[in-house]
Chain A
Amino acid sequence: MSTSPLSITHTPPANRGSVSYGEEQQPRKGFFTDTSLCIGCKACEIACKEWNHVPADGQHFSGESLDNTNALGANTWRHVAFIEQKVPADEMDLVGRAQLSPDVPLEDAVDGMRWLMSSDVCKHCTHAACVDVCPTGALFRTEFDTVVVQQDICNGCGYCVPACPFGVIDRRKEDGRAWKCTLCYDRIGDDQTPACAKACPTQSIQYGDLDELRVRAGERVEALHERGVDQARLYLHDESDGIKGAGAFFLLLDDPEVYGFPPDPVDTAHHLGESWRAAGMAGLTMVGVVAGAVAWGLRR
Chain B
Amino acid sequence: MSTVPPHEGPQGPDEPEDDPIAAALRSAGGTRTGSDTAGPVDATTGKPVAPAGQAPITGRAPAPGIEGRDPAMKTGDVDADSPQKAGGDDGPQKAGDAPKVSSGHREIRTARPEKERSHGRGSGGGRTGDPGRSKRRRGGKAERSMVPDAEPRSYYGRQVVKTPVWTWEVPWYFFTGGMAGASALLATGARFTGNVRLGQSASAVALVGTAVSPVLLIMDLGRPARFLNMLRVFKITSPMSVGTWGLSLLGGSAGAAAGWQLLNFPPAIIGVPSQAAAGVFGPFVSVYTAVLLTTTATPVWTEARRTMPFVFAGSSLASAGGAATALTPVAHAAPARAMGVAGGLLETLASTVMERRLDHRIAASYEHPTVRPLNLAAKACALGGAAVVGLAGHRSRPAAVAGGALLMAGSALERWAIFKAGKVSAEDPIQTIGPQRDRVNARGTDAVAPE
Enumerate chain A interface residues (CB-CB to B < 8 A).
Answer: 1-4, 57-58, 60-65, 67, 70-71, 73, 81, 83-91, 93, 107, 110-113, 116, 129, 132-138, 153-159, 161-172, 175-178, 230-233, 240, 254-255, 257-266, 268-269, 271-272, 274-276, 278-279, 281-287, 289-298, 300
Could you say which residues of chain A place their CB within 8 Å of the CB of B128?
A: 70-71, 73, 167
Could you say which residues of chain A place their CB within 8 Å of the CB of B153?
A: 255, 257-258
Given contacts A155-B230, A286-B317, A294-B189, contact A63 B237 (CB under 8 A): no
Which residues of chain B in 98-147 are interfacial with respect to chain A, using CB atoms and an 8 Å cutoff? 98-99, 101-102, 105-106, 108, 120-128, 131
B175 at interface (Cβ–Cβ under 8 A)?
Answer: no
How many interface residues does B have (CB within 8 Å)?
A: 127
Could you say which residues of chain A place their CB within 8 Å of the CB of B20?
A: 63-64
Which 4 pairs between the two chains have the least Cβ-Cβ distance? A156-B222, A176-B222, A260-B155, A155-B226
Considering only CB atoms, which chain A residue lies closest to B225 in the complex?
A155
Given contacts A282-B312, A297-B335, contact A89 B156 (CB under 8 A): no
Given contacts A63-B121, A260-B160, A268-B296, contact A294 B190 (CB under 8 A): yes
Give complex CA distance A61, B198 in Å: 61
Considering only CB atoms, which chain A residue lies closest to B310 in the complex?
A282
Considering only CB atoms, which chain A residue lies closest to B230 in the complex?
A135
Give complex CA distance A169, B162 in Å: 8
Give complex CA distance A264, B387 in Å: 45
Which residues of chain B in 272-309 are interfacial with respect to chain A, using CB atoms and an 8 Å cutoff? 283-284, 286-288, 290-292, 294-298, 301-302, 305-309
Chain B 420-451 interface mask (CB, 8 Å, partner A; 1/0):
00100010010011001101100001111111
Give complex CA distance A283, B279 in Å: 11
Q: Could you jot down 26 A-B contacts, CB within 8 Å?
A: A3-B446, A60-B123, A85-B28, A88-B102, A107-B94, A112-B53, A155-B224, A156-B222, A158-B164, A162-B162, A162-B165, A167-B161, A175-B222, A231-B32, A257-B436, A260-B155, A263-B433, A282-B287, A282-B290, A286-B286, A290-B335, A293-B342, A294-B186, A294-B335, A295-B193, A297-B335
**Residue contact A107 to B95, C-beta cutoff 8 Å:** yes
**Residue contact A158 to B127, C-beta cutoff 8 Å:** no
> Which of A62, A67, A129, A172 has a CB less than 8 Å from the CB of B297?
A129
Given contacts A71-B128, A286-B185, contact A133 B240 (CB under 8 A): yes
Chain B 37-72 interface mask (CB, 8 Å, partner A; 1/0):
000000000000001110001000000010000000
Given contacts A4-B447, A63-B122, A137-B233, contact A264 B436 (CB under 8 A): yes
Could you say which residues of chain B place their CB within 8 Å of the CB of A298?
A: 193
Considering only CB atoms, which chain B residue lies closest to A106 in the complex?
B95
Given contacts A63-B122, A88-B102, A285-B346, contact A157 B221 (CB under 8 A): yes
B124 to chain A, nearest CB (A): 6
**Residue contact A65 to B102, C-beta cutoff 8 Å:** no
Chain A CB count within 10 A is highest, among B105, B120, B165, for: B165
Chain B CB count within 10 A is highest, among A111, A265, A283, A290, for: A290
Could you say which residues of chain B place their CB within 8 Å of the CB of A178?
A: 222
Give complex CA distance A70, B129 in Å: 11
**Residue contact B222 to A171, C-beta cutoff 8 Å:** yes
Considering only CB atoms, which chain A residue lies closest to B338 in the complex?
A293
Given contacts A157-B240, A268-B296, contact A113 B87 (CB under 8 A): yes
Considering only CB atoms, which chain A residue lies closest to B187 in the complex?
A290
B315 to chain A, nearest CB (A): 10
Could you say which residues of chain B place their CB within 8 Å of the CB of A172?
A: 222
Could you say which residues of chain A place their CB within 8 Å of the CB of B338?
A: 292-293, 296-297
